[in-house]
């Protein structure tokens, strides 16, 4: 456990020394807040709360997919990574450290969204709901962390960047994150429950506001977690550093 903290600390140190990297994962959701949420749903307390919760989900998704997908793939390219694998520690501390660091950065990237939601929109949340939402962030990070790890461990870094970019927008739109609950265009309402983003968003909505989750979306989220965990585990095991053939 102590080693996990050591790994987390050095991962964060490395990232924080290049602050643009942190800025990157916070930028897109914050920009989406300013351009889409503030002008269109800013005055309606209920709409603004849902929209802010959606953007938080968006932020969690993009932060995790990029951080793990691209971060892990890039680390695997660095000769430092195989070296750390020769140290007398199993994969667990490094893995736990990475997840801890990832979670810390996810929370950090949420700050702009939450600040914009609180100051520029009519979004409202009770203290209890806010705490619940904080916990929910950790829960909904799980599928996207696993997705990122699956990408990062199975692809070289150049491919990982492309796959992460190709995935995150359709996941956001398809899951109905850019429209109010039940208000998305017809075909999106049809496919949304089958995407992990929707289940995650439903949980966020339920945590932040008065919302009854759709069971199908949450069940599918569970299915996604199992699938992605299997995929990430498989990718991790077959990885022996960067492959050459």
Which residues here bind other proteins, judged by CB under 8 A? Answer: 2-3, 6, 10, 13-14, 17-18, 78-83, 85-90, 240-241, 244-245
- Residue 241 — left, alpha, or beta (φ > 0 → left; ψ -120 to 50 → alpha)? left
Closest approach of other proteins to the CB of residue 143, in Å: 29
**Dmax (CA) of the chain:** 58
Considering the complex, state which of residue 88 and residue 127 has its C-beta at the smaller distance from other proteins: 88
Considering the complex, state which of residue 8 and residue 32 has its C-beta at the smaller distance from other proteins: 8
Sorted by sequence, the CB contacts under 8 Å of residue 150 that are 6+ apart come out as 228, 231, 232, 235
Considering the complex, state which of residue 39 and residue 241 has its C-beta at the smaller distance from other proteins: 241
How many residues are recorded in the chain? 245
Closest approach of other proteins to the CB of residue 14, in Å: 5
Contact 126, 37 (CB under 8 A): no
Closest approach of other proteins to the CB of residue 98, in Å: 14
Considering the complex, state which of residue 17 and residue 128 has its C-beta at the smaller distance from other proteins: 17
Closest approach of other proteins to the CB of residue 78, in Å: 6
Closest approach of other proteins to the CB of residue 2, in Å: 8
Cα 205 from chain centroid (whole Å):
16
- Give the CA distances from residue 235 to residues 85, 101, 232, in Å, rounded to whole numbers and listed in that order: 16, 21, 5
Contact 219, 194 (CB under 8 A): no
Considering the complex, state which of residue 105 and residue 184 has its C-beta at the smaller distance from other proteins: 105
């Amino acid at each position: 456990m102590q080693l996990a903290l050591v790994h987390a600390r050095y991962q964060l140190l490395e990232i924080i020394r290049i602050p643009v990297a942190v800025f990157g994962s916070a930028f897109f959701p914050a920009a989406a807040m300013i351009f889409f949420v503030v002008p269109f749903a800013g005055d309606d307390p209920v709409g603004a709360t849902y929209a802010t919760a959606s953007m938080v989900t968006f932020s969690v998704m993009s932060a995790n997919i990029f951080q793990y997908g691209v971060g892990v793939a890039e680390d695997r390219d660095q000769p430092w990574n195989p070296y750390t694998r020769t140290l007398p520690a199993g994969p667990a501390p490094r893995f736990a450290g990475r997840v801890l660091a990832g979670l810390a950065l996810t929370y950090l990237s949420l700050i702009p969204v939450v600040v914009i939601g609180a100051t520029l929109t009519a979004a409202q949340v009770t203290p209890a709901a806010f705490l619940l939402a904080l916990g929910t962030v950790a829960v909904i990070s799980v599928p996207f962390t696993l997705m990122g790890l699956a990408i990062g461990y199975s692809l070289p870094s150049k491919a990982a960047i492309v796959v992460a970019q190709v995935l995150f927008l359709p996941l956001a739109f398809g899951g109905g994150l850019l429209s109010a609950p039940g208000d998305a265009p017809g075909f999106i309402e049809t496919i949304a429950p089958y995407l992990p983003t929707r289940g995650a968003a439903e949980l966020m909505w339920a945590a932040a506001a008065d919302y009854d989750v759709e069971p199908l979306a949450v069940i599918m989220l569970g299915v996604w977690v199992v699938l992605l965990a299997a995929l990430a585990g498989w990718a991790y095991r077959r990885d022996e550093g960067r492959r050459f053939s």
